[in-house]
Structure 1
Amino acid sequence: RHAFFDPAAHLSLSDVEKNQCEKYVKNLIYDDVYPQKRST
């Protein structure tokens, strides 16, 4: 019924999407913890 908002939708992500999301989150955490060491 609510397929457009599936709480488990992230389980069906492809490996590439998982890696991109993981890298994005890790970058957010790294920039938050070590803002002075940001390379860009």
Structure 2
Amino acid sequence: MRKYKKFISYVLLALAIILLAIIVIFTIIVIFDMIIVKIYTGQ
């Protein structure tokens, strides 16, 4: 039972890290998209 609880906590931690990574990647994509649009419309 103790090992199972530890496994669940590791899975939750992994999911949290994956979710954080997705949010960070999405934010970077949005920022880059805005920069590209600014450069494109500026020319």
Q: TM-score w.r.t. structure 1 length?
A: 0.51
Identical residues among aligned pairs (%): 12
Are 1:30 and 2:36 counterparts?
Answer: yes
Query: Comparing both chains, which one has the higher relative contact order based on Cα–Cα distances under 8 Å and sequence gaps of 6 or more?
Result: 1
Aligned residues: 25
Aligned-CA RMSD value: 2.3
Which stretches in structure 2 are left out of the alignment for 5+ residues? 1-18
Identify unmatched segments of 5+ residues in structure 1: 1-12
User: SS in structure 2 opposite 1:34?
Assistant: helix
Structure-2 separation of matches of 1:16 and 1:22: 10
- The list of structure 1 runs, each at least 4 consecutive aligned residues, that deviate by more than 6 angstroms after superposition, is none
For the residue of structure 2 that corresponds to 1:18, the secondary structure is helix
CA radius of gyration, larger in:
2
How high is the TM-score relative to the length of structure 2? 0.48
